[in-house]
Amino acid sequence: MVFNRDPLGIASSVCVYILLLFGDYAIVYHVLEYGQHEGLGRSFGALLSHCLFAMSIVCHLRASLTDPGYVPLSKTKIDFSSDLEKTESGQKKKKKREPPPIGEWTVCHRCEIYRPPRSHHCRKCGRCVRRMDHHCPWINNCVGELNLKYFFLFVMYSGFLCLYAAVLITVEWLWNREESAQDSTTDKYIHSHDCHVVVV
C-alpha cells in the first residue's frame, strides 16, 4: 500500500470524492426524483447511478493506494565519483545525451540504481517507476505498471457517470419542453373556445 503525503494531491483526491458524490446525489434526488420517471424506471436509474458511483470510488482508491511499480532501491549505491572527477578535470567532454536503446537497462542518477527499460524517475514521488505514464494529482500517485488498469477503470466509470447524467438531463429537458408546448396549445384552444361561446 502506498500513500503520498502531498497536500495538493490529498486535496485533489478529496475534490474527486466530493464531485462524484455530488453527481450521484444530483442524478438521484433532482433528476430522477422530480422527473417523469415512474416506479421501476426510477429505481433502475438510481441503482445504475449508485453502481457507477461506487465503481468510480473503488477504482480511484485502488489506483491511489496501489504501488505503481516502484523500482526497488538497492542497498549499495552506484559510485559516480570517478565520472565526477573526470568531468571536473576536463578530461571528459560533455556529449549530447541520447536515449538508451530499446530493451536496455539505464542508470538513474537520482536514485543511484539500475532501472528496467521504460522506467522513469518521478520528481513528486522521488522514486523510479516501471512503465511510468505520468504522475496524476487526482489520484495522488504515479500511474505505472501496476495501477494503470485501476486508473483506466476510474476514468471510464466516472466518464460513464458524467455521460449518464448528461443523457438524463437532456431527456428531461426535451420531455418538459414538449409538455409545456402541449399545455400552451391546449390553453390556447380552451381560451379560444371559451371566447367563441361567450360571443355566441
Q: How far, rounded to the nearest angstrom, does the alpha carbon of residue 2 sit from its chain's CA centroid?
A: 18
- Residue 38's φ and ψ, nearest 5 degrees, are -115, 140
DSSP three-state, residue 89: helix
DSSP three-state, residue 108: strand
Angstrom distance (rounded) from CA 4 to CA 142: 10
Q: Are 104 and 95 in contact (CB under 8 A)?
A: no
Cell numbers 433532482: residue: 30
Establish whether 136 is a catalytic residue: yes
Cα dist. 36→7, 27, 67, 72, 175 in Å?
43, 13, 46, 57, 8
Angstrom distance (rounded) from CA 115 to CA 126: 14
Among 15, 136, 142, 162, the one annotated catalytic: 136
Residues carrying an active site annotation: 136
